Amino acid sequence: MKRSSDSLTAEAELRKKLAELELAVQARDELLAVAAHELRNPMHALLLQVSAALAVARRDNNADLVRRIERVKHIVDRYVKRATVLLDVCRINARKFPIQVETFDFMDVVRDAVESYGPEAAFHQATLRLSGPESLVGAWDRMAIEQIVSNLLSNAMKYGAGSPVDVEVREEDPGFVVFSVRDRGVGIAPEDQERIFGRFEQGANSAGRRAGFGVGLWLVRSLVDVHAGEVSVTSVPDKGSTFTVRLRRETGS
């Protein structure tokens, strides 16, 4: 049975509109990526100045000034992290997240992240406890690994209810690295444990409020997928959650 000319015309018009919509979405993502990049970069210079002022305040043993500058640094850090999240979301949406594999020490990234989250942990009255080998060198995209580690630590801060957070790194044969973050907070219901990895999905924090953009765990899964790795969660409501990332130690180039 032949299709009518009206049907063919309607189909062609629909295809045209879909193509226009795809171009509009692409233009939006490119604009947001540029905006996020331009908003984020000046903050790095500001962070350097804040860090220098903090060092002077500590040298002078000015406890009140140290506390105030640490609070400023915490706010700027969060701004930079949110701008970075926006940039990464745009890059993944546009399928423009090129892997740049380099050799580095996984433990260095994790130690730096734990140290940088010290002020936020103190703000939430939580304790970060790190265990792992002295060194664990491999090849990955460093920026992606930093984002994975940072997002899982941030998630534990938001939903951990001020409880201790255990961060563990271990090597698993044959040639895999396992990174896990365990909190003892509100936990996740079984029916929600897959949903939370979706874009714009999130749960309620210990105060019963939704927190952040709802893209942190989606970014983690997206970046782990880029490395052909695995991410999973085990959780019991009101007893906490453990997020586990498993990556090949050598990803290749």
Rounded Cα distance, 49 and 55, in Å: 10
Place of tokens 């899982």: 152
Same domain, 78 and 107: no
93, 127, 142 - which closes a domain: 93
Of the pLDDT bands very low, low, confident and very high (cuts 50, 70, 90), residue 248 is very high
Same domain, 17 and 61: yes
Q: What pLDDT, on a 0 to 100 scale, did the predictor assign at position 4?
A: 66
Place of tokens 């399928």: 95
66, 93, 120 - which closes a domain: 93
CATH at 186: 3.30.565.10
Omega of the bond leading into 164 within 30 degrees of 0 (cis) = no
Rounded Cα distance, 193 and 231, in Å: 12
The boundaries of the domain holding residue 149 are 101-248
| Mean of all residue pLDDT scores within the chain | 80
Rounded Cα distance, 223 and 233, in Å: 16
Same domain, 76 and 44: yes
Question: 164-188 pLDDT, tens per residue?
Answer: 999 999 998 778 999 999 999 989 8
Helix (H, G, I), strand (E, B) or coil at 176: strand
Same domain, 221 and 112: yes
Same domain, 108 and 89: no
Same domain, 54 and 119: no
Which tokens is 11 given? 């189909």
Of the pLDDT bands very low, low, confident and very high (cuts 50, 70, 90), residue 35 is low
- pLDDT of residue 204 exceeding 80: no
**pTM confidence score:** 0.66
Question: 107-163 pLDDT, tens per residue?
Answer: 999 998 898 888 778 877 889 999 999 999 999 988 889 889 988 998 898 888 888
Are the C-beta atoms of 147 and 109 separated by less than 8 Å? no
Same domain, 107 and 200: yes
User: Looking at residues 237-242, what average pLDDT do you find?
Assistant: 92
Same domain, 73 and 144: no
154 located within any domain: yes
93, 118, 135 - which closes a domain: 93
Angle at 84 between CA 83 and CA 85, to 5 degrees: 90
Same domain, 223 and 146: yes
- pLDDT of residue 9 exceeding 60: yes
